[in-house]
Amino acid sequence: LDVARVFSELQPEALVIHADDDKEIPFHSMHEIKKGHPSLETYNASGLGHRKILRDKDLADKVSNYVSSGKIEESAAMAQQAS
């Protein structure tokens, strides 16, 4: 499946999440997808690798915020960690 080609043909609104420490899918894949559709939102879930990305509560909150608002926002837990 050529994800970059599919995204460039469909032009969907989407949030693409990938981790720069993913050992299974190269990080540059996210940038290739973004080239085909510059309005895509992207998020580097650094430190979560390929599998932890699916179980991370803070990332799930971030995705929920994106779905409800269309913006990537910090979850309450992320904001608390930053302070």
pLDDT tens string, the chain, 83 residues long: the values are 677 677 667 666 788 888 999 998 888 888 888 887 777 888 899 999 998 988 999 999 989 988 888 777 654 444 444 43
Chain-centroid distance of CA 23 in Å reads 16
Chain-centroid distance of CA 62 in Å reads 9
**pLDDT of 80:** 41
**pLDDT of 74:** 53
CA distances from 53 to 37, 39, 70 (A): 23, 23, 20
Report CA torsion sign: 16, 80, 51, 54.
negative
| Entry pTM | 0.66
